[in-house]
Structure 1
């Protein structure tokens, strides 16, 4: 395995997450390697963060962090808005705008997605996770006025 400082990794991961989807949404996409996907990237010296996903209302994706061109950490995820909202582009856009604001709150304590809980008016983001950067799994949920609008599950860790 390629050696790197875990503190450097964490600093880079937080920076990458704040500057890609959380900041720009789908507009952050570079030319994707896989047809039909969106691909977000962030680079800093020997580090590369790549997030590739398919879909919109329901989506599936994977984040990979590489150090010196070697993949060292990954997270897979799947989820989206509840099925009843899938065809309502304006509602989906509003939900994902709220999600991006929540994801910008990512912290060293919970570096996977957003914070444990984040609220804005009657909107609420909840993130439940088990584990740590080594190996983890979790799920996030968005509600408005107590109604569930969005769910996502994720898992990952350091590659060995």
Structure 2
């Protein structure tokens, strides 16, 4: 695994899930929305909870082992 490959995978995964309005997976925990993407040896899961205020976590695995994660919090202000 090279960092540049990881970076490019993360961009594609985000485009294929939330940023691209991808289909949600069954919730992994009550009240969550889970968005998953896989490509070759890489897997991505974005899991978030909440509505206008939300928090979540993105995790990338390589060959089944976590190699990158990001936690986030945000709120919907109604602007687009």
TM (normalized to structure 2)?
0.91
Unaligned runs of 5+ in 1: 83-91, 99-160
Match of 2:9 in 1: 12
Structure exhibiting the larger radius of gyration computed from Cα positions: 1
Task: Describe the SS at the equivalent of 1:30.
Answer: coil
Across the aligned residues of Structure 1 and Structure 2, the Cα RMSD in angstroms comes to 1.3
Alignment partner of 1:23 is 2:37 = no
TM (normalized to structure 1)?
0.47
Task: Describe the SS at the equivalent of 1:33.
Answer: coil
Task: Describe the SS at the equivalent of 2:7.
Answer: helix
Q: Show structure 1 runs of 4+ deviating over 3 A.
A: none
Match of 1:111 in 2: none
Q: Distance in 2 between matches of 1:43 and 1:81?
A: 28
